[in-house]
């Protein structure tokens, strides 16, 4: 294989990876706006809930948060309040909110 | 005559023995973080490993529990036990827990960050 062909293949691969990442990149800023509108009343500013029954979200894993919202929306996870809120969220809203809460100063941590 | 230190120890032991019943009378057991720590064997294999992913039925990182609200952790465990939440492993584990176990585990995980427990 010639040098230029190798370079071309590497470039194509890099472009493909970047395109993939772009398609999945959640928008934390958009999540922040949504969080203030929809979530903050119960889960607190930045997801640092002060209400014992409502979980702290700040610093939680994004994929876990997104799954929780999808499950509330689909009804797999049953909670009347969250079903209503999650039901009104789009797939992008969910990914953006998960990215936003994950990026906040962590209120929760992994514990042995 | 009873030495003061012995008396104090006996008083603490008596209070510790009575406390769970007093709480039970009000409905919900009071959690004991130290007792909770002794019950984390079933939890730490997943929740104790940073970034651990559950593999079934969906792949995602298991939630961080350290510093979470005690009341929420109890609610989550009850929801798994009742079937409101559906993760198979969590349903099986929560089904094996008593109300006292749930309260103790929640009290342990809810404590503000613990540096010694992580060792």
Chain A residue with Cα closest to B67: A108
Within this chain, do residues B20 and B69 fall inside the same structural domain, yes or no? Answer: no
CB contact at 8 A, B52 and B62: yes
Within this chain, do residues B85 and B101 fall inside the same structural domain, yes or no? Answer: yes
**Above 50 in pLDDT, residue B116?**
no
Looking at domain A27-103, its CATH superfamily turns out to be Cytochrome c-like domain (1.10.760.10)
Inspect the interface and report whether the beta carbons of B118 and A63 lie closer than 8 Å.
no
pLDDT in tens, A28-76: 999 999 999 999 999 999 999 999 999 999 999 999 999 999 999 999 9
Within this chain, do residues B95 and B56 fall inside the same structural domain, yes or no? Answer: yes
Within this chain, do residues B68 and B107 fall inside the same structural domain, yes or no? Answer: yes
Q: Give the phi and the psi of residue B116 in degrees, each rounded to 5.
A: -75, -35
CB contact at 8 A, A63 and A99: no
Domain coverage including residue B109? 32-119
pLDDT at B56: 87
Cα B87 to Cα B96: distance, rounded to the nearest angstrom: 14
Q: Which residue has the tokens 């060792």?
A: B119
pLDDT in tens, B5-59: 554 444 444 444 444 444 445 678 999 999 999 999 999 999 999 999 999 889 9
Token pair for residue B21?
Answer: 């019943």
Element holding B46 (H helix, E strand): helix B41-47
CB contact at 8 A, A104 and A36: no
**A83 touches B at CB < 8 Å:** no
- In B, which residues are within 8 Å of A71 by CB distance? 86
Within this chain, do residues B84 and B44 fall inside the same structural domain, yes or no? Answer: yes
- Any idea what DSSP says for residue B67? T
**Above 50 in pLDDT, residue A82?**
yes
Within this chain, do residues B104 and B78 fall inside the same structural domain, yes or no? Answer: yes
Within this chain, do residues B20 and B47 fall inside the same structural domain, yes or no? Answer: no
Say which of A64, A79, A111 has its CB closest to residue B66: A111
Cα B45 to the center of its chain, rounded Å: 15
């Amino acid at each position: 294989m010639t040098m230029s062909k190798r370079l071309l293949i590497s470039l194509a691969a890099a472009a493909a990876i970047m395109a993939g990442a772009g398609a999945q990149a959640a928008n934390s800023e958009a999540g922040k706006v949504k969080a203030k509108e929809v979530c903050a009343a119960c889960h607190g500013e930045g997801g640092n809930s002060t209400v014992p029954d409502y979980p702290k979200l700040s610093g939680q894993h994004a994929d876990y948060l997104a799954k929780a919202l999808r499950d509330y929306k689909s009804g797999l996870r049953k909670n009347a309040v969250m079903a209503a809120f999650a039901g009104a969220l789009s797939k992008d809203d969910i990914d953006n909110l998960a990215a936003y809460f994950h990026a906040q100063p962590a209120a929760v941590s992994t514990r042995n | 005559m009873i030495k003061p230190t012995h008396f104090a120890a006996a008083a603490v032991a008596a209070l510790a023995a009575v406390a769970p019943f007093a709480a039970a009378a009000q409905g919900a057991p009071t959690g004991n973080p130290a007792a909770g720590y002794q019950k984390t064997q079933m939890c730490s294999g997943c929740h104790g490993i940073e970034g651990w992913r559950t593999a079934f039925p969906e792949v995602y990182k298991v939630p961080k529990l350290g510093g979470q609200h005690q009341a929420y952790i109890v609610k989550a465990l009850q929801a798994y036990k009742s079937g409101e939440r559906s993760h198979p492993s969590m349903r099986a584990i929560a089904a094996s827990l008593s109300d006292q176990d749930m309260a103790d585990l929640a009290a342990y995980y809810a404590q503000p960050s613990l540096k010694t427990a992580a060792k």
